[in-house]
Structure formats: structure tokens, C-alpha cells
Amino acid sequence: MEFSDQSFEQDVLNSPQPVLVDFWATWCGPCRMMSPTVDAIAAEYAGRAKVGKVNVDENQMVASRFGIRSIPTLLLFKAGQIQEQVVGSVPKETINKMIDKYLG
């Protein structure tokens, strides 16, 4: 799922489910390395949490609003608020634990 400057409020901030947002760019090597992990998490949590990506080059308003300075950055939102943040490549288990804390 791709989030954009235009859809971010509706898709992320107004979501009743926890939302994991992967801030990335096509030229970012670590972002490309994290992509299969993020895709696997999206499949694993389908129906329980939303998982999506924001291309920082194409959606600079959202990236700047949340102070994204390094990518990849993963932000976990619940009830419109940032609950957790991870910068850089991390193991899948780290992301699983982060999401599991906020599931009903």
C-alpha cells in the first residue's frame, strides 16, 4: 500500500487500526533491503494492521511533517499519533514486537 501527501490523513491518521509507515526512496539501498521484510509484515498483519510506504521524494510534505531525516524510517501510528519509531534496517522480529504491542 502506498501512502501519499494527499491520502495520508485518511489512510493513516484516521485509521481505526495501527498503521506501520515505511518512509523510503528508490535510491536508498537499505530501504530496498527492508522492502521484502515490510511486504512480509503487510501480509502477516492483513486485516489487523495497515502497512504502507511513503516515497519521500514524491511526498515531501508528509516526510517533513514528521521530521524524517534518515531513511528507511518506520513509524507506527495508532489513533493518529506516532507510537514507535525505528530508523535504519532492523530485523523482522523487532517490527513484529513493535506492532504486537498496539494490537487490540
Rounded-to-integer distance, Cα 90 and Cα 74, Å: 10
Amino acid at 39: D
Average pLDDT value for the chain: 97
* 8-100: CATH architecture: 3-Layer(aba) Sandwich (3.40)
pLDDT in tens, 75-92: 999 999 999 999 999 999
Out of 28, 86, 87, 90, the active site residue is 28
The per-residue pLDDT for 40 is 98
Active site residue 31: yes
Amino acid at 81: Q
- Considering the entire predicted model, what is its pTM? 0.96
Sheet holding 19-24, edge to edge: 50-55, 19-24, 73-78, 81-87
Q: Which of 94, 92, 100, 84 is nearest to 37 (CA)?
A: 92
Active site residue 35: no
